[in-house]
Amino acid sequence: MSIELKNIAKTYDNNSWILKGINTRIKTGEFFAIVGPSGCGKSTLLRMIAGLIPISSGDLQIDNHSVTNLPPCDRNLTMVFQDYALFPFLDVEANVGFGLKARKMDVVKIEERVANALALVDLTAVKKRKPRELSGGQRQRVALARAIASDAKICLMDEPLSNLDAQLRGKMRSEIRELQQRLGLTLIYVTHDQIEAMTMADRIMVLNEQQVQQVGSPAEIYQYPANSFVATFFGTPRMNLLKAHCTQIHNHSLVIDPQLSFPTPFDLPAGDYFIGIRPQSFTIVAQISKANATIKNIEYLGTEFIVYVELDNGAKIRIAAAKQSSLSLNERILVKTPEDFLIFDHAGRAISSMKGTQKNGRTTKQAVQTAQ
């Protein structure tokens, strides 16, 4: 079942907007993540789709039928809550069958569906337990089982993994993804965790400051971010943003210092720019006379090092180094111009993303398009 959001907006006082101009179409069977920092309105959007709060303006369509004014139960969807919304006084079985019983479904049928759902999430052994007797991961799975048992083809999830520890979260990520594939669910998944969104979703909607920043596949979002917010939101460690100034037109590069200058894809008007470089893109040359930076701190993460560097002009950058190089604190080093970088205008909109060669027309075009 497909879902279409047409110019959806939310306000509580007809004055200030919580969300504005949300447009997108979610395809049948798609895993669609809505991601953004806390307070960006992602949960509000999900609740509007669920029908728990009214939509202030715009139209919501499911399978091309407007459901904007329908109550939640008539939208044929199900929802998994952050706190699982399990009934503490019911055992696992009854929790899973709650909705079916409320809709007065035949008892035998309920049993069958509940048993199937429990088997799918591997909870059959604990079906007589109360929620308080379960671990966090098990509770999470009860909530999933309830969603499965409802047999709705659209499933909404509101930060379902945020109460779990990191290891369990990783495991549940793949389980949910697997279930979604297996049951052919159209899944809208709200999270503040960019890794979750990147690893699970077919497509991601990035929300910030009441507005959609970008909608695209994880690769698109990562490689061609529409603006500096999206660019810095995805990827660990965070992307570096260096401020550069362009004094005159026909300047073909943005210069940070003599050793660090960035060629531009086309003539840029004079003004302020930001250069975005992922920490992995930098290379460090040690023991050199032409040093332009000092190492301030080094973090060892097992697979890589994060090197905190201060450029001679005062800018602080993060560099991910894969190999154990014999770097030490306060060592003078040379930070070289990387091959991959992005240029954003003074408002943070993407202008180019340089990849491979210095003048890659396609990437430039793509970046400019998304920025508009």
Partner 1 sequence: MEEQLNKQFKPLNKIAIPKLQKLKKIGYDVNAKDKIYAFLFLGPSLLILSIFVFYPMLRTLYLSFFLTNTLGKPTVFVGFNNYVNLLTSSTYLNSLKATITYVIAVSMLTLVLGILLAQAASKKIAGINFFRTIFSGTMGVSVSVAAIFWLFIFNPSVGLLDQVTTFLHLPTINWLTQPGWAMLAVIISTVWMNLGFTFLIFFGALQSVPKFLYEAAEIEGASKSYQFFHITFPMISPTIFFISIITLIESFKSFGLIDLMTAGGPDNATNLMVYRIYQDAFLSGNYGSASTQSVILAIIISLFTLMQFKLLEKKVTY
- Joined together, the tokens standing for residue 257 give 């210092």
Q: Please say which residue, 78 or 214, places its beta carbon nearer to partner 1.
A: 78
- State the nearest-atom distance from the C-beta of 49 to partner 1, in Å: 11
Q: What is the rounded distance in angstroms from the CA atom of residue 58 to the CA atom of residue 305?
A: 48
Q: Please say which residue, 185 or 246, places its beta carbon nearer to partner 1.
A: 185
Query: Which residues contribute to the site for partner 1 (CB under 8 A)?
Result: 50-52, 71-73, 77-79, 81-83, 85, 87-89, 98-100, 102-103, 130, 132, 146, 150
Contacts of residue 348, Cβ cutoff 8 Å, sequence gap at least 6:
227, 228, 229, 274
Q: What is the rounded distance in angstroms from the CA atom of residue 71 to the CA atom of residue 73?
A: 6
Q: What is the DSSP letter of 105?
A: -
- State the nearest-atom distance from the C-beta of 123 to partner 1, in Å: 18
Q: Please say which residue, 89 or 300, places its beta carbon nearer to partner 1.
A: 89
| Cβ proximity of 232 and 209 under 8 Å | no
Q: Please say which residue, 57 or 82, places its beta carbon nearer to partner 1.
A: 82
Q: Please say which residue, 158 or 367, places its beta carbon nearer to partner 1.
A: 158
Reported as type and span, the H/E element at residue 274 is strand 271-277
Rg of the chain over all Cα atoms, to the nearest angstrom: 25
Q: What is the rounded distance in angstroms from the CA atom of residue 307 to the CA atom of residue 343?
A: 23
Q: Please say which residue, 139 or 278, places its beta carbon nearer to partner 1.
A: 139
Q: What is the DSSP letter of 349?
A: B
- State the nearest-atom distance from the C-beta of 102 to partner 1, in Å: 4
- State the nearest-atom distance from the C-beta of 176 to partner 1, in Å: 18
Cα→Cα distances 282→26, 71, 73, 99, 356, Å: 37, 53, 52, 54, 14
First-to-final CA distance of the chain: 30
Q: Please say which residue, 118 or 212, places its beta carbon nearer to partner 1.
A: 118
- State the nearest-atom distance from the C-beta of 105 to partner 1, in Å: 10
Q: Residue 192: name the closest of 162, 231, 216 by CA.
A: 162
